[in-house]
Amino acid sequence: MIYEFRTYDLKPRTVPEFERAFGEKLPERLKYSPLGGLWHTEAGPLNQVLHVWPYESVAHRADIRAKAVAEGAWPPAFREPLTLNMNSEVLLPAPFTRPMSPRKVGPLYELRIYQYEAGAIPKVIDAWGKAIEEREKYSPLVGAWYSEVGNLNRWFHLWAYESFEHRMAVREETRAKGVWPPAGGVTPLKQENKIMMPAACSPMQ
């Protein structure tokens, strides 16, 4: 299984229009393969949307995308050009990541992206695998993924929270109790995050 993370930078004030058009076209696109989720940023880099698509393989992705475009099922039609920049990253899931499916676990989502030194990702996976069950007693992990092409040694993890206040409370409590970050883990070289909210058409809410 692979996951494609597609991040679009949009013109200011055009996120609602993007999500409207995306949602209108989505039923046609879902005939080919499922959508993991669609979110827009609320903190961090603004006017961004992220849509995540799971596929069986790189070949499956190429086949599905070609068919959907050729048969007019995708992409959405916008009234005017909205996109300033588009970025696509193909990621592999950590062994403990559950397949993405329609769920109501938010509505606040935090995507954290860590850069590690070369060769560290297997150590990260091992440390997280030992600690994630306890950590999920506080809030659910939507998934954790790592890069295999493009910018390497990157670790993506997506968490769901009930609110900003819930996020802060969970982070403070898990640190205080020694639940998180995982013991024996590797310190990242760089960290960034995005606070996101789901679009109305997103299967994850």
| CATH code for position 74 | 3.30.70.100
Return the beta strands (E) in the chain as ranges: 2-10, 37-43, 48-55, 83-93, 108-115, 141-147, 154-161, 190-198
- Answer yes or no: is 99 within a domain: yes
Overall domain count for the chain: 1
Place of tokens 């600690």: 131
Around 7, how many Cα atoms within 13 Å sit in the side-chain half-sphere? 12
- Answer yes or no: is 203 within a domain: no
Query: What domain range is 136 assigned to?
Result: 2-198
pLDDT in tens, the chain (205 residues): 999 999 999 999 999 999 999 999 999 999 999 999 999 999 999 999 999 999 999 999 999 999 999 999 999 998 889 999 999 999 999 999 999 999 999 999 999 999 999 999 999 999 999 999 999 999 999 999 999 888 999 999 999 999 999 999 999 999 999 999 998 778 999 999 999 999 999 999 9
Rg of the chain over all Cα atoms, to the nearest angstrom: 17
pLDDT of 6: 97
d(CA 135, CA 89): 27
d(CA 205, CA 197): 8
d(CA 69, CA 151): 27
- Answer yes or no: is 82 within a domain: yes
Instruction: Please say whether the dihedral angle defined by the alpha carbons of residues 64, 200, 93 and 154, taken in this order, is positive or negative.
Output: positive
- Answer yes or no: is 205 within a domain: no
pLDDT of 103: 96
Q: Are the C-beta atoms of 112 and 103 separated by less than 8 Å?
A: no
The letter for the amino acid at 128 is W
Instruction: Please tell me the pTM assigned to this model.
Output: 0.95
d(CA 50, CA 39): 5
- Answer yes or no: is 204 within a domain: no
